Homo-oligomer: A and B are copies of this chain.
Amino acid sequence: MSTVAPAAWRFPCQKCPLRSIAEFREFSPSELEFVASFKTGELTVEAGTTVISQGSRTAHLYTVLSGWGFRYKLLDDGRRQILTFLLPGDFIGLQASLMTEMQHSVEALTGMLLCVFERERLWQLYETQPSLAFDVTWLAAREEQTLDEHLLSLGQRTAEERAAYLLLFLFHRAEIRGMTKGNTVAFPFTQPHMADALGLSLVHTNRILNQLARRKFIAIGQRQLELRNRSKLTEIARWEPPPAQLRPFI
């Protein structure tokens, strides 16, 4: 980990470039001040790094400043389920701070820059910053909603519906964070990642994805995803994005 003196941080909270993203609610000066004092470092990791691992006890909480990652769980024989994808603005490690040990792992999909917070100080946040405490809960509740939807997907949607849902979901999340250009987003996922997120075999994932591409609903290439027929995908997935809402960015 690369912890340096506050003055030298590449992204001091007060001028964090992410804070200007429309999806994030504005923080008051005092909230910002607390967040700045809560921050204890910046962590840079390269693609493929395991940031948090199942069974461990971390002393930290993180906010993603840049890059993509994912949370996953493993079965003891190696089967892997990807639970969620992480992108800039996402908050991770809360479970570890409240529970005894981590029940999932986090891996970087691209290089990532993470903002580091001390879990010990989380309690202080609850004591002195009710609005931020509320935000932390809000984030947890939002994650819960996302997991609910994924559960619906794995339990009830067919392979094609699931794939359409996942692509729409990823695109939508990136879009409201201002990370898309037209119908295109950066797409650092490989098919093994998609397969483990969809709960399908690699071979079948490949066929389903190609099927969507052949029908010109999507195009994947050059580490980019293009949604070529969003309404058709929506129809297949039977999914509409949840109502827009301002999100806290801690």
Contacts and interface: CB of A to CB of B under 8 A. Distances in A.
Contacts of A150: 151
DSSP majority for the A interface? helix
A48 to B, nearest CB: 21
Contacts of A228: none
Interface residues of A, number: 51
Copies in the complex: 2
A95 interface: yes
Interface stretch (A18-26, A96-104, A110-118, A177-185): A96-104
B149 A73 contact: yes
A44 to B, nearest CB: 27
Interface of A: 71, 73, 75-77, 79-81, 83, 94-95, 98-101, 103-104, 123, 126-127, 130-131, 133-134, 136-138, 140-145, 147-152, 154-157, 196-199, 238, 242-243, 245
